[in-house]
Chain A
Amino acid sequence: MKKGAIIPLVIFAVLVAFLAIGLGLKPREVPSPFIDKAVPEFSLPKLMQEGQTISPADLKGQVWMLNVFASWCVSCRAEHEVLSRFIRTEKVPVLGLNYKDEPSDAKKWLAALGNPYQHIAVDYDGKAGIDLGVYGVPETFVVDKKGIIRHKVTGPVYEETVRDTLLPLILKLREEQG
């Protein structure tokens, strides 16, 4: 068993390598299975325009974002300024998904903080959220001209996220054919 004596050491070394890599990973972040797939359909009432509905098909042909938010969500408040500025500066159409919220609360929240959304859909029971694979709030999806989801941000959008990920991606997608 002489040569075999080195096997435990080798296995240990491989294990340590994985554990070391593991220190840099985020085990709780779940990637979206919708990347490079069509954005799931939904047709929900609009928050601001009573009686009307909105669906992703309405935004086909442009590069747009879907932002899941709620008035009870603390992190949404935290990302609001960064997100709004980005939307304003780059003129990105954004569909806000008001997730499991009271419409009156949402309206108050937007009135206080500002409304950056082009359209707002009311997902009262969270069904549309489930169809999108939403598991936390806020979440932001980037959709291309063909209606394919190209990226998802889980958690609040920070300056770095905008600078390093969203802005370059939006610009790139705009170059693509519709």
Chain B
Amino acid sequence: MIPEIGHFALVLALVIALVQSVFPILGTVTNNAQWVAMAKPTARAQLLFMSIAFACLVISFLDSDFSVRYVANNSNTLMPTIYKVSAVWGAHEGSLLLWGLILSVWAALVSIFSKGISAVMLARVLSVMGMIGVGFLLFMLLTSNPFERLFPIPAEGRTLNPLLQDPGLAIHPPMLYMGYVGFSVAFAFAIAAMLGGKLDAAWARWARPWTNVAWVFLTIGIALGSWWAYYELGWGGWWFWDPVENASLMPWLVGTALIHSLAVSEKRAAFKSWTVLLAIFAFSLSLLGTFLVRSGVLTSVHAFASDPERGLFILIFLVLVVGSSLVLYAIRAPKLRSTGTFSVISREVGLLVNNVVLVAMTATVLLGTLYPLFIDALGMGKISVGPPYFNTLSLPLGIVLFSAMGFGLFLRWKKDKPERLFAKVRWVLLLALIIAFLVPILFMESFTVKAALGVFLASWVSLTALLWVQEQGRSPFKLPLAIWGAAIAHIGMAVTVAGISLTSMYSVEKDVRLDKGETYEMAGYLFAFNGVEKVQGPNYIAQRGEIVITRKGEAIATLHPEKRNYGQGTMPMTEAGIDGGFFRDLFVALGEPLGEQAWSLRLYHKPVVNWIWLGAALMSLGGFLAAFDKRYRMVRRRSQKLTPKQSDALAATATKQEVTA
């Protein structure tokens, strides 16, 4: 019964989405106020039915209802409850349902927190989001129904891929989808603004907090995936430039450009058409990612599905959504003339450099990811493009970006003087250089140029961020959240880059053969191997090793790396033993048995590797703070007393009272 209800809820959601897509926007054209007013209730009804459908799927998993094919393929009775729930989005059909649910959540939130947006604008925004919902619902109902039945009903299901039976990876897709789908809000605002023909600062102000929050979620999602890869896959790596990983990175890069560009469009009547284009790009890349992951067009360990038929559906959807938005852009572009003027040395130019470098990085990642496809499609054979390519090219682009990041915070709007700038930053530059030389020498074994470069850029960005906060003049606690947000986010990026440079250059890895009772010394630590024993888990059997780590006689940690077998033809899983720390990780993974009591083991010493994800956490915090800056809340409060027309007019003026953030 429950699966039927779920299926029916999806159908109803589709009908509502169709109404949501058609009537409000038609109402803006025919001046039908009632139709325009349908936007809010349909968006909220959509959320209701998507929630019902999602709940039905969750219940089916919790009940282990194997008459539902999707449940039978991804779950079994022995799995811990938490993974029965995360299995809901563990494969293609369920993850689509999650996508659709999250889309309805964002649309409903927009419908709630929209006081002050004119009804006409809101109608357009929600209609566009409704259209996207129609696409996903049709995709589900026509090709990928999560509630499809299975007959005869098996007594036991298969299993969720053991790789996914992990708390980090359980939450990773919802975070990512909150990000991908969140960019649809900015996209919808951009479309609505273009349709309205009036691209003043209002749309940027409305779109900005939504975009910031979406960006935060995407940052968290990517960081979780990377961290998981590190501790779960057992090879000490955390980013492989796999097509699916790149598919998440590209919207993030453009999203970063977008949040900066929105700042300009909001505060200055500049970058109007550029910001609109970025909003289109960000969401288009989210959709492109959906295509790449599910169509089988690229080979990836992460691919959800490799079904060209489904791929065709998504491609058509992509053409409709992105194609029509770019056509609209081409038509409306003449109207989007920016009127602000600014000189070469100005904050506008700094942000523009930020934007174009990020777009260049995105283009590079896209080129590398799709190049094998281009070559194959042209009949020129098969090539591979992997980490060596991407790593090599990130470097120059990253250097340009980071160099600009430091200057960017200080630049004044419209016109700034180079002398003032250098007067401010010359001490910072000197300090950063000193740190860059000292850190590798003092804390690491040897000096390498690459590490020094990474530390230099990281110090440069962090110190300028701190200096910028200090130069605001007021007490730090009285500063607006937007300032803190920006500073913390920039520092977060710096911390990540420092972590990446230092860990890439100074990680030590050794594969050793140890007998029970033998020891090995590495990086100043003594690793003692105490053998391996068999252990039974809830749905797996494991070989569990014990490693005792000491340093100069002092006990540091006891680690228990495991090799787990989940049965049913799955690959054995390596669970590494990790002693995590702020300054270093000690990492042990079991290899293979090499005799009676001997095993091959992999030992790692990874300095500051956790800074990579700590930096991402800081970036997320920064973005979050910026989104909740009181001027967004104040506009909402203030605007409750205004008519929408008045508040649009108000928003269109760039007030001097606000800080230069």
Contact = CB atoms under 8 A, between A and B. Distances in A.
A and B touch in the complex (CB under 8 A): yes
Interface of A: 1-2, 5-6, 8-9, 12-13, 15-16, 18-25, 27-31
Interface string B310-341: 01100100110011001101100110000000
Contacts of B427: none
A12 B323 contact: yes
Given A8-B277, A9-B326, A18 B295 contact: no
A23 B297 contact: yes
A5 B333 contact: yes
A22 B327 CA distance: 24
5 contacts: A5-B329, A16-B315, A23-B315, A25-B376, A27-B296
Contact of B322 (A12, A22, A28, A31): A12
Nearest to A14: B374
A22 B373 contact: yes
Given A9-B326, A27-B298, A31-B381, A19 B372 contact: no
A129 B405 CA distance: 53
Contact of A28 (B299, B315, B374, B377): B299
B76 interface: no
B197 interface: no
A1 B327 CA distance: 15
B318 A5 contact: no
A8 B277 CA distance: 9
Given A9-B323, A23-B296, 5 more contacts: A13-B323, A23-B312, A23-B315, A27-B372, A27-B373
Nearest to B274: A1
Contacts of B196: none
A9 B377 contact: no
Nearest to B326: A9
Nearest to A25: B376
B273 interface: yes
A25 B373 contact: yes
Contacts of B312: 20, 23
B326 A12 contact: yes
B584 to A, nearest CB: 39
B308 interface: yes
Given A16-B318, A18-B373, A23-B295, A9 B381 contact: no
B370 interface: yes
Interface string B273-296: 100010011001000000100011
B198 interface: no
A13 B319 CA distance: 8
B319 A16 contact: yes
From DSSP, what is the main secondary structure of chain A's interface residues?
helix
A20 to B, nearest CB: 6
A8 B318 CA distance: 14
B366 to A, nearest CB: 8
A144 B327 CA distance: 55
Interface residues of B, number: 33
B311 A23 contact: yes
A27 B330 contact: no
B308 A2 contact: no
B372 A18 contact: no
Contacts of B382: 27, 29-31
B311 A18 contact: no
Closest 5 CB pairs of A and B: A5-B333, A9-B326, A22-B297, A21-B377, A23-B308
Nearest to A27: B299
B372 A6 contact: no
A164 to B, nearest CB: 19
Contacts of B330: 5-6, 8-9
Contacts of A28: 299
Contacts of A1: 273, 333
Given A27-B373, A31-B381, A31-B382, A19 B326 contact: no
A18 B377 contact: yes
A50 B318 CA distance: 62
Contacts of B377: 18, 21-22, 25
A27 B381 contact: no
Which among A2, A9, A28 has the greatest number of chain B C-beta atoms within 10 A?
A: A9
A5 B327 contact: no
Contacts of A2: 333-334
B298 A9 contact: no
A27 B311 CA distance: 14
Nearest to B337: A1
A13 B374 CA distance: 14
Contacts of A8: 277, 280-281, 326, 329-330
Contacts of A27: 296-299, 372-373, 376, 382
A15 to B, nearest CB: 8
Contacts of A30: 382
A8 B190 CA distance: 16
Contact of A18 (B318, B370, B381): B370
A28 B382 CA distance: 9
Nearest to A11: B326
Contact of B374 (A12, A18, A29): A18
A31 B327 CA distance: 40
Contacts of B311: 23
A6 B273 CA distance: 12
A21 B374 CA distance: 9
Contact of B315 (A5, A9, A19, A31): A19
A24 B308 contact: yes
A2 B337 CA distance: 9
Contacts of B333: 1-2, 5
A28 B299 CA distance: 7
A9 B333 CA distance: 12
Nearest to A13: B323
A74 B323 CA distance: 46
A173 to B, nearest CB: 23
A68 B109 CA distance: 60
A49 B319 CA distance: 62
